[in-house]
């Protein structure tokens, strides 16, 4: 029997605690859709989230300039025809507040909140091999014993601040982009430091520069970034999607990364220099991540890749007036796209402003924080605020923070010490009835997350539905199927240029994290076909009891 031993649920009183079939961890787009699907199966589920509301990544990442780099017509749910027809986006690439509004709208429209419990962290999940149930404990002292656990914990939800000495000495304000205050921050007249130049920083810097009296950007590794060419949504553009939404969504599901990007199926090096330039110019003018679809071999051929990288470097040199700053901003030591390509609005232009400095910390790291600011390269800088745009412990960090124990009391964290072990990025051998949405070794962060989330949830819901109707109590990945999947996933990664970059895809941003390529790079269309094939073959590679 399940019991509530302490504490009261802040919300989520739809299903009594002792009747839960499924615990879902995370109220982002994954957790919300999972709940929706499980209700249709007649299962009693509850979503838990440490936040005060829905939205996941869009709940936390409220930094100035935060917006999605996938167009909103594509970064949205497709599961409800009514929803996708009725919702109206105001911009091509929507900003965080609008995406959060959308998440709230979905929660209301499908009446999801009654099965959600906020301000609650899941601290542990231990599998009881006798009862075939998970024993899940929260930080409110509650205990649940669901049959299934769904980890909808997101890929980038464990923010990381480097362990700078003197962090506590700084008398000004510090912020992390992934934990931005809900009330916003007014930097007007303030001396501000931004540490990091990844996607978050690249979006935040131009907006912070509009307010700050002085902005210093501390850069370790420059990033390639493409202008977004964002703008208001036009009726024509919206209708071009909505007229035939189902067909567009179906096409996107068969692509490499879940985004309709009009890929050019020509090799960059087999195209003449003039024609190549024309293609890049057009893609640069169009803007966004579609730039990486300029040619078919940018991810696999170093020479081809360098033609795109050099084109972007030339653009940076043309935009940034200070030649030293331009050289610092032009990435040279890793192939373009092998760290997540960034999308910006006037990022490079910001360095032409008098009150914005770029400080190279590659050879001379930030030494420590001081009471007034920080010390770097033997020099003291004074700031009123420091913004850490220093990223996340991606894909595995959040799962590692939960005390997850499977068969024989084995800890997931230990099992994954040398790198995550999954079958299809959805389950891990020894952890029965625990699903991971967009887990490591699935396309996840290399794709339009909405496409990957819906694919995973649909597959998992169908799988759970099958368990229910076929009278099985336990599903578990077979170790040999898992080993083969890991080998396949790793093999494909090494046919590309991706492992050449010290990226968070490789775990390279976290000291001590094993260097393994985390997402599956075989493409969402191919991956979906494989998942469907496995299900159709009676869940091949899984053991059902």
Query: By the criterion CB under 6 A, which residues form the site for ligand N01?
Result: 68-69, 156, 162, 177, 195-201, 203, 218, 220-221, 340, 343, 361, 365-366, 389-392, 445, 504, 509
Query: Least separation, in Å, of the C-beta of 415 and ligand N01?
Result: 25
Q: Kindly tell me which of 117 and 289 has the beta carbon lying closer to ligand N01.
A: 289
- Closer by beta carbon to ligand N01, 148 or else 381: 381
Backbone Cα Rg of the chain: 23
Measured from the CB atom, is 14 or 440 closer to ligand N01? 440
What are 366's strand-pairing partners? Answer: 376
**Cα distances (Å, whole numbers) of residue 288 to 309, 341, 475:** 15, 9, 41
Least distance in Å: CB of 532 to ligand N01?
27
- Sign for the CA dihedral angle at 45, 51, 53, 54 comes to negative
Rounded to an integer, what distance in angstroms lies between the CA atom of residue 509 and that of residue 137?
Answer: 30
Least distance to ligand N01 from the beta carbon of 225, Å?
10
| Dihedral pair phi/psi, residue 513, rounded to 5° | -75, 135
Q: Which is nearer to ligand N01, 177 or 482 (CB)?
A: 177
Long-range own/partner contacts, residues 306-309 (CB < 8 A, 24 or more apart): 306/335, 307/268, 307/269, 307/276, 307/280, 308/268, 308/280, 308/336, 308/337, 309/224, 309/335, 309/336
- CB closest to ligand N01, residue no: 198
- Closer CB to ligand N01, residue 58 or residue 423? 58
- Of 68 and 192, which CB lies nearer to ligand N01 in the complex structure? 68
Residue placing its CB nearer to ligand N01 in the complex, 138 or 289 = 289
Q: What angle (nearest 5°) sits at the alpha carbon of residue 235, between those of residues 229 and 239?
A: 100
Q: How far is the CB of 159 from ligand N01 (least distance, A)?
A: 8
Tokens of 500: 């050449």
- What lies within 8 Å, CB to CB, of 106 at 6+ separation is 32, 54, 77, 83, 112
DSSP state of 499: G
**Contact assessment for residue 52 and residue 27, using Cβ atoms and an 8 Å cutoff:** no
As given in the structure block, the two tokens for residue 258 are 């879940």
Contact 122, 136 (CB under 8 A): yes
Q: Least CB distance from residue 28 to ligand N01, whole Å? A: 13
Min dist. Cβ of residue 320 to ligand N01 (A): 17
Q: Compute the distance between CA of residue 200 and CA of residue 66 in angstroms, rounded to an integer.
A: 7
- The distance of closest approach from Cβ of residue 394 to ligand N01 in the complex, given in angstroms and rounded to an integer, is 7
Contact 170, 369 (CB under 8 A): yes
CA dihedral 221, 449, 13, 141 (to 10 degrees): -40
Which residue number, 198 or 287, has a Cβ lying nearer to ligand N01? Answer: 198
- Closest approach, Cβ 234 to ligand N01, in A, equals 22
With respect to ligand N01, which residue has the nearer C-beta, 167 or 474?
A: 167
Q: How far is the CB of 52 from ligand N01 (least distance, A)?
A: 22
């Amino acid at each position: 029997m399940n019991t509530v031993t302490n504490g009261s649920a802040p919300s989520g009183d739809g299903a009594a605690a002792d009747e839960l079939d499924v615990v879902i961890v995370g109220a982002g787009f994954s957790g919300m859709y999972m709940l929706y699907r499980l209700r249709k199966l007649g299962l009693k589920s509850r979503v838990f989230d440490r936040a005060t509301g829905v939205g996941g990544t869009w709940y936390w990442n409220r930094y100035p300039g935060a917006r999605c780099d996938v167009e909103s017509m594509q970064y949205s749910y497709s599961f409800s025809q009514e929803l996708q027809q009725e919702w109206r986006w105001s911009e091509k690439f929507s900003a965080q507040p609008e995406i959060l509004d959308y998440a709230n709208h979905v929660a209301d429209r499908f009446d999801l909140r009654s099965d959600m419990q906020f301000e609650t962290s899941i601290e542990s999940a231990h599998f009881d091999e006798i009862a075939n149930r998970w024993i899940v404990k929260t930080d409110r002292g509650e205990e649940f014993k669901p049959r299934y656990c769904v980890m909808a914990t997101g890929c980038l939800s464990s923010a990381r601040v480097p362990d700078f000495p003197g962090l506590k000495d700084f008398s000004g304000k510090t912020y992390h982009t992934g934990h931005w205050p809900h009330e916003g921050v007014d930097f007007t007249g303030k001396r501000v430091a931004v540490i990091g130049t990844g996607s978050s920083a690249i979006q935040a810097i131009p907006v912070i520069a509009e307010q700050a009296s002085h902005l210093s950007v501390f850069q370790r590794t420059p990033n390639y970034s493409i202008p977004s060419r964002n703008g208001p949504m036009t009726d024509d553009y919206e209708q071009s999607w909505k007229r035939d939404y189902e067909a567009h969504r179906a096409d996107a599901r068969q692509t490499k990364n879940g985004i309709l990007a009009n890929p050019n199926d020509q090799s960059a090096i087999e195209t003449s220099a003039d024609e190549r330039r024309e293609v890049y110019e057009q893609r640069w003018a169009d803007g966004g991540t579609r730039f990486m679809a300029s040619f078919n071999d940018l991810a696999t051929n170093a020479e081809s890749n360098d033609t795109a990288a050099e084109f972007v470097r030339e653009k940076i040199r043309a935009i940034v007036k200070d030649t030293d700053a331009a050289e610092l901003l032009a990435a040279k030591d890793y192939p373009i796209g092998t760290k997540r390509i960034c999308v910006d609005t006037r990022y490079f232009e910001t360095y032409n402003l008098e009150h914005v400095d770029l400080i190279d910390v590659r050879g001379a790291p930030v030494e420590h924080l001081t009471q007034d600011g920080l010390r770097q390269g033997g020099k003291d800088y004074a700031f009123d605020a420091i913004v850490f745009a220093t990223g996340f412990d991606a894909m595995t960090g959040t799962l590692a923070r939960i005390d997850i124990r499977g068969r024989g009391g084995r800890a997931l964290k230990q099992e994954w010490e040398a790198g995550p072990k999954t079958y299809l990025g959805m389950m891990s051998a020894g952890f029965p009835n625990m699903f991971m949405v967009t887990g490591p070794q699935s396309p996840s962060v290399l794709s339009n997350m909405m496409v990957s989330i819906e694919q995973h949830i649909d597959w998992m819901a169908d799988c759970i539905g099958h368990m229910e109707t076929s009278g099985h109590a336990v599903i578990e990945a077979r170790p040999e199927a898992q080993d083969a999947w890991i080998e396949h996933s790793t093999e494909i990664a090494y046919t590309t240029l991706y492992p050449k970059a010290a990226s968070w895809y490789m775990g390279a941003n976290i000291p001590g994290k094993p260097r393994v390529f985390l997402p599956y790079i075989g493409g969402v269309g191919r991956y979906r076909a494989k998942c469907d094939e496995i299900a159709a073959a009676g869940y091949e590679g899984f053991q059902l009891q």
